[in-house]
Structure 1
């Protein structure tokens, strides 16, 4: 006669197994979508270069960037109606060695589109121009981030990340042998037998070895999509640090005109040994420039660790802040999820993780399909 404790354990295991199966079935198509597009994102620079014919480079920059010169060249290339809005340095938002000036092809009220002019940093020559929203690569990025569904898509992706983390935890618990002989069980795994058995064992073994990776990628994906679900002290990117500019800065009108280049020179004097990583220019909707400065190995590798606002009308008026303390944890999570944490190994690691998630999703769907449509005696792991 079975012991009561053993029966309770089996009941709990059956409940976790059913929950794991149904959660996996619900999340599988979403996980497949973000895994496939995530692999694609490892090649965004190359894909955008192939699609647009822009972003070619002949070498790295050997001098300080003359931002005013790039803006002038972009204006000439894009036409008189072009409204410059910002600058992207090498490997900023898009992993490419090219530099870019981006802006609106015309004012928004006139139907302007986001237009990008790319430069070779070694020569400051224009290498191409394209409309961002017309590129398939940009749609690929948006699909990965929000399923092309805006705020609703962000929430769905965030929920999928939580489901991935929960599936990883439950999967390890289900796979773990009752007497704790995990290594022995892993070594003795055989893939002989019918396809359902192969799927079952492959799903369990891959899930075990990649459980920590799936857990971290799921939670970091949730964090990137909905950082407001996490403690306020954590910050996903420097450009999303919560900041309130003083009223005297926002409301000041001094009458002079501070160019982007002058603002950059002022910022670099305030932060010597830094370099300009990104910039947002003063525009009809804001009377200040926002500069992102990089120094050494930044924690936030998409927007650098230091942000400085320089008033576009009042000389010497600025506000600055740097990523520090607990806020760096968010930037590290972002680096992990984007693969930038791994440097030169970024692409192969993203491909490996993406393929593993695809494999686990397909085998998980196979197992769920068999359980629902053709239920059979439970398989022993």
Structure 2
């Protein structure tokens, strides 16, 4: 069947426009597949042999002391007990600062901007290009572009079921220029499904967080950091809801409430049970078990990271990331070579 040339032209121009961003997303995505290991390497804890962790209020106090003009937003507990705790703080002007805290002593081991912590920088670049709602929208558009490229590329390449095996490769005697184009098509065809899956789930992760232009602005109270006793009492109330669960992180809201995410291994690596507690009223205001959380990320994130099929799932995702790097470079290079050859003739 004759394929419309307009499809190939559209494929090429979409690829040329989005190639730099696709390359960036592939690189940061590959890094994030090993985020836990990189966190443990970059932020090793100086924890004693007993492995005890200081109270949450001590971690919070250390972070606030490092940046007294900012307000605490979130604290991540040590990853598998092998890394430092990690705090995020924000100023009224949106300035973000970070602190790594030893969980055994409560001493700040490192602090600074996001560039002091490359593992966090990779996450923020991959998720929203460090640009808030605009970055989220661009990332979502990039996901749409990748989905279109995967589908259009396979459709344009498809040689028919009987010829698939023969077309997956390049003849040894083919010119280098043609080999590059053939391998570009073959790699894209082989990993098209994984790339399409990454594109669609990436959009599902970013689109819900993009504020609607017509939505009314939400007025938030002036943030204030609760005192140490209130923090520990609130955390204790949250822990009592899931006494056998390990806390993953705590969010500190401007209204004085704490939202504690407890790991829920029954639902997979990313599953959490959420308990929200008011530090002012000292009572639990909501409990959201994993099974009752219907947010899109609950389904999309494990697919996006490959964890749906277990710990080995990140390897096909890593292969797709490397393939996307190759495609984002080889496609424009093949186009440039063909343009140069056309001018030369």
TM-score of the superposed pair, with normalisation by structure 1: 0.71
Task: Please state if 1:293 is matched with 2:274.
Answer: no
User: Which one of the candidate residues 57, 71, 78 is aligned to 1:90?
Assistant: 78
What's the counterpart of residue 192 of structure 1? Answer: 173
Q: Report how far residue 33 of structure 1 moved.
A: 2.0
Q: Is the CA contact (8 Å cut-off) linking 1:16 and 1:170 kept in structure 2? A: yes
What's the counterpart of residue 270 of structure 1? Answer: 241
Comparing 29-38 and 330-339, the one that deviates more: 330-339
After superposition, the CA RMSD in angstroms is 3.9
Mapped partners of 1:170, 1:61: distance in 2:
57
Q: Report how far residue 73 of structure 1 moved.
A: 5.4
What's the counterpart of residue 15 of structure 1? Answer: 6
Mapping of residues 323-338 of structure 1, within 5 Å: 323-324=290-291, 327=294, 330-338=297-305
How many residues are treated as equivalent by the alignment? 328
Mapping of residues 201-220 of structure 1, within 5 Å: 201-220=182-201
Tell me, what secondary structure is at the counterpart of 2:166?
A: helix
Q: Report how far residue 368 of structure 1 moved.
A: 2.4
Deviation per CA, 1:196-246: give whole Å up to 9, x if none. Answer: 2111210111111101111011112222222268xxxxxxxxxxxxxx9xx
What's the counterpart of residue 118 of structure 1? Answer: 101
Which structure's CA Rg is the greater one?
A: 1
Deviation per CA, 1:314-339: give whole Å up to 9, x if none. Answer: 23342222343682653232233345
Q: Report how far residue 279 of structure 1 moved.
A: 0.8
Q: Which runs of 5+ in 1 are unaligned?
A: 1-8, 230-243, 245-249, 251-255, 377-381
CA separation of 1:141/1:259 partners in 2, compared to 1, >3 Å: closer, same or farther?
same
CA separation of 1:371/1:227 partners in 2, compared to 1, >3 Å: closer, same or farther?
farther
Mapping of residues 2-41 of structure 1, within 5 Å: 9-10=1-2, 12-41=3-32
CA separation of 1:135/1:343 partners in 2, compared to 1, >3 Å: closer, same or farther?
farther
Mapped partners of 2:291, 2:32: distance in 1:
28
Q: Report how far residue 341 of structure 1 moved.
A: 4.7
Task: Please state if 1:128 is matched with 2:128.
Answer: no
Task: Please state if 1:359 is matched with 2:343.
Answer: no
Mapping of residues 137-176 of structure 1, within 5 Å: 137=118, 138-176=120-158
Tell me, what secondary structure is at the counterpart of 1:327?
A: coil
Deviation per CA, 1:279-305: give whole Å up to 9, x if none. Answer: 1236xx31222211223244472xx42
Q: Which runs of 5+ in 2 are unaligned?
A: 211-217, 222-226
Q: Is the CA contact (8 Å cut-off) linking 1:70 and 1:124 kept in structure 2? A: no
Tell me, what secondary structure is at the counterpart of 1:291?
A: strand
Tell me, what secondary structure is at the counterpart of 2:4?
A: helix
What's the counterpart of residue 307 of structure 1? Answer: 274
Deviation per CA, 1:157-209: give whole Å up to 9, x if none. Answer: 2111111111111111122214x214432467434321221112101111111
CA separation of 1:18/1:142 partners in 2, compared to 1, >3 Å: closer, same or farther?
same
What's the counterpart of residue 318 of structure 1? Answer: 285
Q: Report how far residue 257 of structure 1 moved.
A: 9.1
CA separation of 1:211/1:316 partners in 2, compared to 1, >3 Å: closer, same or farther?
same
Mapped partners of 1:148, 1:16: distance in 2:
33
Q: Is the CA contact (8 Å cut-off) linking 1:300 and 1:331 kept in structure 2? A: no
Mapped partners of 2:237, 2:193: distance in 1:
45
Deviation per CA, 1:70-120: give whole Å up to 9, x if none. Answer: 3455567x38767554321234xxx9942425254xx94699862413224
Comparing 322-331 and 355-364, the one that deviates more: 322-331
CA separation of 1:135/1:198 partners in 2, compared to 1, >3 Å: closer, same or farther?
same
Mapped partners of 2:93, 2:338: distance in 1:
57
Mapped partners of 1:47, 1:184: distance in 2:
39
Q: Report how far residue 25 of structure 1 moved.
A: 1.8
Q: Is the CA contact (8 Å cut-off) linking 2:262 and 2:273 kept in structure 1? A: yes
